[in-house]
């Protein structure tokens, strides 16, 4: 049964890291290179992640600079950023792309808060799915007569406690991101 708990804990840790990765992509009004993680640039006919074809730096709090390894990629990078749903306007000076990160309006902040709550709800659903899988595995052990009915009930209780703790941690992560977003 300890194996089940360890697997469940690992699953929850994976859910937390995926949630943090998803939340890092939400624009907060500060420059952050992870904003550009989902941007793909055509490179020799293949959509390639931006960070694999260019150096991305944050020289100031509200500025991102992108220096491609090959100058021929400047236009493609600029197009890819403009086509993304980030609402950013790249400025190409011939060797470097600068992206000024504008301050967020109150309406945009509220929209982003709704978006992060949706991402948080997806993480909670993933946690509940992990709980369901662990409970199913416990039931299989009980059917195979490897654990008793009492052990099954104790296992259910432990799995439910772990799930409650995981959803609480997800709420904490979402609350921290919400505070970061609403900070002016």
Residues 69 and 124 in one domain: no
- The CATH number covering residue 21 comes to 1.10.132.20
DSSP letter at 82 equals H
- Model pLDDT, residue 24: 81
Query: Which of 60, 80, 100 represents a domain boundary (last residue)?
Result: 100
pTM exceeds 0.85, yes or no: no
Residue 86's domain comprises 33-100
* pLDDT at site 180: 83
> 3-state DSSP helix/strand/coil percent for the chain, to nearest 5?
60, 15, 20
Q: Are residues 121 and 178 in the same domain?
A: yes
> How many folded domains does the chain comprise?
2
Please list the rounded mean pLDDT of every run of 10 residues in the chain (184 residues): 89 93 78 83 89 90 90 89 83 89 83 91 95 93 89 93 95 91 75
**Which residue, 73, 103, 76, is CA-closest to 88?**
103
Ramachandran angles phi, psi of 105, nearest 5°: -80, 165
The predicted structure's pLDDT at residue 184: 62
Instruction: Let me know whether 66 and 81 are in one domain.
Output: yes
Looking at the fold, whether 130 and 147 belong to one and the same domain comes out as yes
């Amino acid at each position: 049964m300890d194996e089940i708990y360890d697997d469940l804990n690992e699953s929850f840790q994976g859910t937390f890291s995926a949630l943090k990765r998803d939340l890092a992509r939400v624009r907060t009004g500060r420059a952050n290179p992870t904003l550009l993680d989902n941007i793909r640039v055509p490179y020799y006919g293949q959509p390639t992640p931006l960070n694999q074809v260019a150096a991305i730096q944050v020289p100031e709090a509200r500025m991102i600079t992108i220096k491609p390894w090959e100058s021929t990629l400047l236009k493609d990078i600029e197009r890819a950023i403009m086509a993304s749903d980030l609402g950013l306007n790249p400025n190409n000076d011939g060797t470097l792309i600068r992206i000024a990160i504008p301050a967020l309006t109150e309406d945009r902040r509220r929209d982003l808060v709704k978006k992060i709550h949706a991402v948080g709800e997806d993480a909670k659903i993933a946690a509940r799915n992990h709980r369901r899988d662990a409970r199913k595995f416990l039931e299989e052990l009980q059917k195979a007569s490897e654990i008793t009915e009492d052990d099954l009930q104790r296992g259910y209780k432990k799995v439910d406690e772990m799930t409650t703790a995981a959803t609480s941690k997800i709420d904490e992560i979402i609350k921290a991101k919400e505070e970061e977003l609403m900070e002016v």
